[in-house]
């Protein structure tokens, strides 16, 4: 699943390729999008910017029109030059936005809607999300307070709650908890304020490190056959070796990089997401 860093990198890439360009053609398999395009056409509008809030990607067009997309598990945006062959099959296309220089293609995107800046700020799903961990105005104290307000929830599940803080997915959940040496099955009530602050700070550091320097500008885009906005190997260990890029996620049965204890894995939470942890560094399973 795309996490906050992935969405922000995608927004950076789309922004640098599309910002300031005029839409020459728009198409979609979603009738609710094409109805809006029929009444207030996108063709001729300028793409003013592309940004992200949590796991929502926002494309802003002139005339106060905003396209909001959410990737869920399998969605992605690609950028191509006109006439280039897509890297995904055509039946996976959900949205196609064309300019003179680049085509932005949304594949397998499950959620997409047109809105206005007024609606975006006053109603809708963005009003329900917590502080965006990658936002310029991220409020760590607010994030800590929102986590603390969920005393009976396991800390691993609380970190995934986008209404507490936005941007953390299952990979970062596991990596952040390991780095902070916190048992993923402990309730929020059992986690100290210092630990909560450390978790939020670690999450911010990990996600920001995986966004910085990952965008693709016009000069880079012109040298690339096809720009896939979701690229690069996510790292939390700081190591250059691709096989050593994560601390615990996906490493069940392999030795802990700190102590050598085999990494454990267990399904957790209402959606039975996999949690990876070290029983020696973080503690055993708690009821």
Point out the residues that are catalytic.
2-3, 55
> Distance between CA 83 and CA 116 in Å, rounded?
32
CB atoms closer than 10 angstroms to residue 201: 15
- Asked if 64 contacts 116 with a C-beta cutoff of 8 angstroms, the reply is yes
> Distance between CA 29 and CA 20 in Å, rounded?
25
Calculated CA dihedral for residues 246, 251, 257, 262, nearest 10 degrees: 160
- Note the maximum CA span of the chain: 62
Comparing CA positions, the residue from 246, 235, 239, 248 lying closest to residue 276 is 248
Encoded tokens for 183: 């048992």
> Distance between CA 25 and CA 39 in Å, rounded?
15
Counts of helices then strands in the chain (DSSP H, E)? 9, 11
End-to-end CA distance of the chain: 28
């Amino acid at each position: 699943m795309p996490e906050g860093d992935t969405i922000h990198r995608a927004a950076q890439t789309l922004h640098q390729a599309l910002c300031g360009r005029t839409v020459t053609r728009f198409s979609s398999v979603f009738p609710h999008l094409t109805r809006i395009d029929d009444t207030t056409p996108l063709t001729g509008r300028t793409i003013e910017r592309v940004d992200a809030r949590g796991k929502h990607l926002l494309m802003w067009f002139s005339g106060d029109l905003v396209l909001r997309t959410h990737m869920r598990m399998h969605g992605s945006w690609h950028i191509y030059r006109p006439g280039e062959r897509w890297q995904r099959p055509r039946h996976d296309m959900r949205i196609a936005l064309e300019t003179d220089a680049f085509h932005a293609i949304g594949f397998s995107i499950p959620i997409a809607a047109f809105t206005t800046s007024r609606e975006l700020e006053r109603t809708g799903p963005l009003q329900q999300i917590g502080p965006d961990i990658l936002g310029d105005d991220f409020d760590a104290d607010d994030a800590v307070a929102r986590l603390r307000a969920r005393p009976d929830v396991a800390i691993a599940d609380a970190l995934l709650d986008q209404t507490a803080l936005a941007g953390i997915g299952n990979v970062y959940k596991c990596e952040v908890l390991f780095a902070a040496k916190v048992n993923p099955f402990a309730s929020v009530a059992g986690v100290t304020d210092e630990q909560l602050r450390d978790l939020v700070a670690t999450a911010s550091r990990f996600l920001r490190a995986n966004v910085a320097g990952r965008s693709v500008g016009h000069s880079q885009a012109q040298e690339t056959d096809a720009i896939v906005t979701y690229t690069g190997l996510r790292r939390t260990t700081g190591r250059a070796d691709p096989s050593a890029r994560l601390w615990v996620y996906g490493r069940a049965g392999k030795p802990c990089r700190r102590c050598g204890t085999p990494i454990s894995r267990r399904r957790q939470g209402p959606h039975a997401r996999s949690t990876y942890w070290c029983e020696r560094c973080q503690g055993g399973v708690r009821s």
